[in-house]
Amino acid sequence: MNELEMNRRQALIASGLGTLSLGMPGVVMGSDKVDASGKAVRAEKSCIFILLCGGPSHLDTWDMKPEAPLDYRGPYMPIATKVPGMRINEMHTELAKLTDEFTLINSMSHPGAISNHFDAMHNLLSGQSNKRVQQGMANEQPYLGSFVAKMRPSKRNFVSNAWLIKCVGPPVFCAPNIGIGGYLGSAFAPVFVGSANNHPAMKNFKPPEIYAPYDEQRLEQRKSVLRHLESKRLDKDQTVKDWSDLREKTYEALTRAEGRRAFNMEEEPVKVREKYGMHPLGQNLLLARRMVESGVRFVTVNGWTGQAEYDKKGPPSSSWDMHGGNMGMGNAFGNGSYGMGFCLPRLDQALAALLSDLKDRGMLDNTLVVVTGEFGRTPNVLKQDPPGRQHWPRCFSSILAGAGIKGGNVYGKSNKYGQYPTHNPVRPEELAATIYHALDIPISNPQDPTGLLRTLTTGKPIMELFG
């Protein structure tokens, strides 16, 4: 094959970008504005999606029922907050000071009999509650981060869509399309960052290989080869020219250190790191903030809080699956790895630090923060030793902040036992539509010349949540 017959794929291979830009999950290139000093500015709109895998109890966190019988309300009492009527757990001492910064939804609900992690996560993350997994095969609906990577790709970072600590352990905890990008393909799947043995709370934390320093000499050699090819003929082909433009953007991204610097956690003052908490959830939320600053559009953070010193239970996927004794997880109201006495203070510390940090840095207006589990827990405490609660998809709670979401707001309401919504029920469809709206992504008839996009969600954004 001579130079004139070389096709665009071969041109990409010659540049060394064939696998990098086409096959690497979450990789979308571009260029963006820089400030007066030449430093890249942050993305226009981004999202930090905190997924409390396992499903926290709404009655023991953000939709407390202190007037209900003990068998329903559990052992905790609500704490006073800045917002009258917003009742949250007494262990949320820091979050209670920031309730004027977020909206609390107490009427989340999955239609239908979805009570397993697999289906509930799939519907929550895809924004389609009528699409169950059938016979082990998921429908092809991409997840929120993949659509954001497609519609609002990063212009400054290799990565548009990231996931901090991929869920591991039994497949029951992992939604089926997490790593594949649905029908959009692997290019829009997330880049996974960290693991149980390699996370930013550890001293020797290592970022993904995609952020490894580039070989400058090799890069220059490839650029020289492509310039030679273009001078022959390839630059006359519009399709190849498009790929050439992509290549140039890739080179620009490679030579920028901003994406790699996001992982240099030691750059953060010790006081800031300690404010977030020196545990997996705290440091992952701090890393999420740094990744958003470096241009990543959508960062999902696994809500794993770590393991209690005396109770080394649970993979980094299911801290909030607090069944109690019937699943061998210990007291759901205790201080073990699956206990609210251990998990709730860590969530309180990390989430409060993130919200206040984003606000102090002027980032909250452009960064949407979503905190939710895939469902709630049974209103009645299981009569077992030690106690816990089962899965409950009919009612649960979520928190939204930033990107135009008004603060000090309680939306929706459940009945006196927290069994089901009585006002303004919110399905995964409405939550997804609200997220897309906050990120300026059109839902109806998106303009997509590639023809790849189908229905993002059939829901409508909840406009009452916006200030």
What pLDDT does residue 447 have?
56
40 lies in some domain: no
User: What global pTM score does this model have?
Assistant: 0.85
Q: Is pLDDT above 60 for 462?
A: yes
**CA angle 316-205-34, nearest 5°?**
110
**What whole-number distance in Å separates Cα of residue 20 and Cα of residue 28?**
10
User: How would residue 395 be classed by pLDDT, with cut points 50, 70 and 90?
Assistant: very high
Side chain identity at residue 233, one-letter code: R
The count of structural domains within the chain is 1
Q: Which residues contact 4 (CB under 8 A, 6 or more apart)?
A: 232, 233
What pLDDT does residue 3 have?
38
Average pLDDT over residues 308-327: 88
395 lies in some domain: yes
What backbone torsions phi and psi does residue 48 show, to the nearest 5 degrees?
Answer: -110, 110
330 lies in some domain: yes
The whole-chain average pLDDT of the chain stands at 83
249 lies in some domain: no
**What whole-number distance in Å separates Cα of residue 448 and Cα of residue 444?**
11
Average pLDDT over residues 355-360: 98
Higher pLDDT, 335 or 235: 335
pLDDT per position as a tens digit, 396-450: 999 999 999 999 999 999 999 999 999 999 999 999 999 999 999 988 755 555 5
Q: Tell me which residue range forms the domain holding 118.
A: 47-196+263-465
Q: Are 195 and 168 in contact (CB under 8 A)?
A: yes
What pLDDT does residue 77 have?
96
Which alpha helices (DSSP H) does 77-190 contain, by range?
A: 117-126, 144-151
315 lies in some domain: yes
pLDDT per position as a tens digit, 195-232: 888 999 999 999 887 776 655 565 566 666 666 666 66
345 lies in some domain: yes
**What whole-number distance in Å separates Cα of residue 271 and Cα of residue 255?**
31
Domain harbouring 148, CATH code: 3.40.720.10
- Please state, for a pLDDT cut of 70, what percent of the chain lies above it: 75
What pLDDT does residue 135 have?
41
Percentage helix, strand, coil for the chain under 3-state DSSP, each rounded to 5: 35, 15, 50
Average pLDDT over residues 225-250: 56
Residue 69, H or E segment? none
279 lies in some domain: yes
Higher pLDDT, 199 or 260: 199
pLDDT per position as a tens digit, 73-131: 999 999 999 998 899 999 999 999 999 999 999 999 999 878 889 889 999 999 988 75
213 lies in some domain: no
